[in-house]
Amino acid sequence: MTDETLKSIDKATTELLEKAKKDEIGTVFSRAEQIKPCPVGLEESCCKICAMGPCRLPRTKKALQKERVGVCGATIDTIVARNFARRVAAGVASHSDHAREVAETFIKTARGESQGFSIKDEIKLMEVALDFGVEIENKEVKEIALDLGGRVLEEFGRQNGELRYVRKAPLKRQEIWKKFGVIPRGIDREVVEIMHRTHMGVDQDYHHILLQTTRCALADGWGGSMISTDLQDIMFGTPVPVLGSINLGVLKDDEVNVIVHGHEPLLPELLVVASKDPEIKALTEKVNAKGVNLAGMCCSANEVLMRHGIPCAGNFLQQELALVTGAVELMTVDVQCEMQGLQSVAECFHTRLITTSDRAKIEGATHIEFHPEHGFDTAKKILKLAIENYPNRRHEVYIPEYSQDIVAGFSHETINYLLGGLFRASYRPLNDNIINGRIRGVAGVVGCNNVRTIHDSGHITMIKELVKNDVLVLTTGCAAMACGKAGLLVPEAASKYAGSGLAEVCETVGIPPVLHMGSCVDNSRILIAATAMVKEGGLGDDIGDLPVAGAAPEWMSEKALAIGQYFVASGVYTVFGTTWPTMGSDRVTEHLFEEYEDMFKGMWAFEPDPVEGAKLMVSHIEKKRKALGIDKSRERVLFDMAMRRAIE
Ligand code: SF4
Ligand code: MSK
C-alpha cells in the first residue's frame, strides 16, 4: 500500500490524494505507480526515426559499448542529439504557437475585429513598436498596433536575417551567437530545420545538430516567448504587484467554481470580465449560488493572477485533484499541460470539461471554440454552462482548507520601478547590493512538477537553500505556484527564510525574497532582467559574466528543455532535476555540460538532489563573483572629490 502523504509536501494535495484513493479515482499519481519509466527511453538511446528500426542501443551490454550504432550506422551520439533536438523543437513550437495566437488576436484587436479586447498598456506598445522599428510619430494607437502586429507576424515566417529581439541582448552576447552562427532567422524556420536535419540520413554530427538546437531554442527565448509576454502585456496590462491567494482552498462550497487551465490568457481574460456581468450575476442568484468563483490552474493561473489577482487553484500535479473536490462546475482547457486523465475524473463528478482551442480536443470533453471575434459571447456562454451545472453537484463537496496569501506581478518593469523608484527606475540598487555582497547573486528557478519526484519538494527545498545563501530568486510557472503555497511569495518570508544580507535588502524595498514573474512564456522576463543588470554596469558586459544561475528541479515538459537550452545559450548555468535526457551518450552530455561553457559561457548540469543542485548554483555564483573581483563582501564606497583627485 502506498502512503499518499509521502507524494507531496502540500497538505491540500495529499488530503485529496487520500480521497481519490478512497473513492477509487485514478489520477496521475496512481497511474505513475502502474507505469515504470522505460530505461532505454530514459537515457534516450532509442531511435525510431525510420522503419528499419526502432534501434534500441542501451548502454547495458559492455561489449556493445564501442559499436553502439543503429542499423543505418547512426552513432549513439547522433541518436541522442537528434532526440534532444526534437524535444527542444517541440518546446519551441509550443511557446511560439502560443505567441502566434496572441499576435493574431492582437492584430484583430488593432483592427477593431475582436470582442472584449483592447490596448491597455500604451507605453509598452510604444516601447515594443520602437524595438520593431515602427514609426510612432503622429500615428494613432491602433495604427501603431497594426503596424507592429504585421511586423511581429513576420518573425515567424522570416527566411533570412535575424529575429528582431536578438538586438535587445547585450552586444557581447550577440557577438558570441554570431561567432557560432546561432542567431535565429524566423521562428518557424528554425523548428522546421530541426525536423529536417533529424530526419533519417541528414545531419549526423552531434555538434552540428546541437548548434541548430541552440539556434531553435533562442528563437523561443528571444522570439516566441518574448513576443507572447510583450503582446499580452500590451493587451492586458503589464503586471504590477498584486495580492492573491493560492491552493485548492480557494474553491468555494457555495459558489459556482470555474477553473481556467492551460496557457493562453485570451479566453481567461474575458472570463474575468464576463464573471462580473450583471446577467451572469443574476443567473448565479437564480441557482442560489453566492457568485462565480473563477480560479486558475497552471500557467493560465499565473496570467490571471498577475493581472487581476484571480486566485490560483494549484499547479500541474493538482489539476485532477481540483476536480476530486466535487466542487468544480466547469474547467476550461486551451493548450499545453492538460492531462487527458482530466476527462475521466470529470466523469466521476458533475464537472464539465471544455476544450476551447481549435488545436486541442479531448475525447469526451465538450468543445466550445474560442475565436477573438466573438470572444466575450463565448466567455458568457461558458459561464452560463457552469452556472446551469451548479445544481447538478452529486457528491459531497470536500475542499481542503488550505490557501495561502501571495504577492505576484513582478514584471521586469515593476522590478525596475521598485528598486529605483518611479522617477529614476533602475537596476542600480540591485547591482550595488550584489557588488557589496548583501545579495550574492540571482537565480531563476522555474518549471513544472513531475510525478516522479515528491510534488513541490524539489522547488521548495532548492529555493529555501538559495535564499538562505543570500541568492535572490526569480520564479515562474508551476515553480512559482509551489513557492506561493509554501509561503515564500510574501514580504515576511524574507526575515523567515533569507540570509541576513538578502533579508535586509528585501525588507528595505518591501519585496519577498522570491519574486513571481509569471507564466512559462514569461521566462523571457528573466532574460530581460539579466540584460538590464548587464546594462546597469559593474557586473561585466555579458549575461555570462553575471553571478546568476537557473534551475528546473521538477521539470517534465519539452518546453522546459527549450527554456533550459535558451538559458544556457544566453550564458546562464542551468541545473535540471528529475532526469536528464542525454544520458545515453557521454559525448553529447559532456558537450552540453562542459564544452558549452567555453562556447556560450553557460552550460547544463543535472542534479536530482535539490540541496546539491542549490549548492552547485551557489558555487557557480561565487565563481562568477570571483571573476568579477567582488568575491569579498564590501560596502560600496561613495567617492568624494578628494578621493577622486587622489586616484587621478
Ligand atoms: Fe535505426 Fe538509423 Fe532508422 Fe534510427 S534512422 S531507426 S538508427 S536505422
Ligand atoms: S504549466 S510547462 S507544467 S511549468 Fe506552464 Fe507548469 Fe511546466 Fe506546464
pTM for this entry: 0.95
Verify that 292 and 436 share a domain, yes or no: no
**Mutational test site, ligand 2, from 98, 225, 260, 316, max ligand atoms within 8 Å of CB:** 316
What is the grid cell recorded at 88? 527542444
What is the grid cell recorded at 607? 542534479
Verify that 429 and 569 share a domain, yes or no: yes
> Could you read off the pLDDT of 545-597 as tens digits, one per residue?
999 999 999 999 999 999 999 999 999 999 999 999 999 999 999 999 999 99
Verify that 379 and 506 share a domain, yes or no: no
What's the first-to-final CA gap in the chain, in angstroms? 76
Verify that 227 and 246 share a domain, yes or no: no
**46, β-bridge pairs:** 56
Verify that 117 and 208 share a domain, yes or no: yes
Verify that 59 and 147 share a domain, yes or no: no
Verify that 167 and 246 share a domain, yes or no: no
Contact 519, 492 (CB under 8 A): no
What is the grid cell recorded at 42? 530514459
> For 400-404, what is the mean pLDDT?
97
- What stretch of H or E contains 367? strand 366-367
Domain assignment of residue 647, yes or no: no
Q: How confident is the model at residue 419 (pLDDT cuts 50, 70, 90)?
A: confident
CA 326 to CA 396: how far, in whole Å? 7
- Final residue before a domain boundary, out of 67, 97, 120: 67
pLDDT, residue 42, reads 93
Domain assignment of residue 442, yes or no: yes
Please say if the pLDDT value at position 308 is more than 80. Answer: yes
DSSP string covering 505-539, please? HHHHHT--SEEE--SGGGHHHHHHHHHHHHHHSSS
Domain assignment of residue 207, yes or no: yes
Work out the percent of the chain whose per-residue pLDDT is above 90: 93
SS3 146: helix
Please say if the pLDDT value at position 633 is more than 80. Answer: no
pLDDT, residue 61, reads 59
CA 274 to CA 288: how far, in whole Å? 19
C-alpha closest to that of 125 among 237, 240, 268, 267:
237
SS3 204: coil
The mean of the pLDDT values for the chain is 95
Q: Which atom of ligand 2 is nearest to the CA of 476?
A: 4
Smallest-distance ligand from the CA of 54: 1
Verify that 48 and 119 share a domain, yes or no: no
pLDDT, residue 648, reads 41
CA 207 centroid distance within chain: 27
Q: Which residues line ligand 2 (CB under 6 A)?
A: 263, 298-299, 316, 337, 447-448, 477-478, 519-520, 557, 559-560
What is the grid cell recorded at 367? 468543445
CA 473 to CA 447: how far, in whole Å? 13
> For 256-279, what is the mean pLDDT?
96
CATH number at residue 230: 1.20.1270.30
Q: Tell me how crowded residue 324 is: count the other CB atoms within 10 A of its CB.
A: 25
Domain carrying residue 12:
4-67
Ligand 1 pocket check for 47: Cβ under 6 Å: yes
Domain assignment of residue 587, yes or no: yes
- Which residue has its alpha carbon closest to ligand 1 atom 2? 72
CA distances for 17 relative to 8, 264, 325, 495, angstroms: 9, 28, 10, 33
Smallest-distance ligand from the CA of 202: 1
Ligand 1 pocket check for 202: Cβ under 6 Å: no
pLDDT, residue 126, reads 97
- The number of folded domains in the chain is 4
Domain assignment of residue 648, yes or no: no
- Final residue before a domain boundary, out of 207, 236, 265: 236
Verify that 208 and 260 share a domain, yes or no: no
Domain assignment of residue 397, yes or no: no
CATH number at residue 487: 3.40.50.2030
SS3 552: strand
Verify that 37 and 129 share a domain, yes or no: no
Contact 20, 330 (CB under 8 A): no
pLDDT, residue 647, reads 47
What is the grid cell recorded at 290? 453566492
SS3 257: strand
Query: Dihedral sign, CA of 13, 17, 18, 19?
Result: positive
**455, β-bridge pairs:** 8
Domain assignment of residue 646, yes or no: no
- Final residue before a domain boundary, out of 168, 202, 236: 236
Domain assignment of residue 643, yes or no: no
Verify that 294 and 382 share a domain, yes or no: yes
pLDDT, residue 327, reads 98
> Could you read off the pLDDT of 39-48 as tens digits, one per residue?
999 999 999 9
Which of 213-217, 468-472, 643-647 is least confident? 643-647
Verify that 191 and 246 share a domain, yes or no: no
> Could you read off the pLDDT of 352-388 as tens digits, one per residue?
999 999 999 999 999 999 999 999 999 999 999 999 9
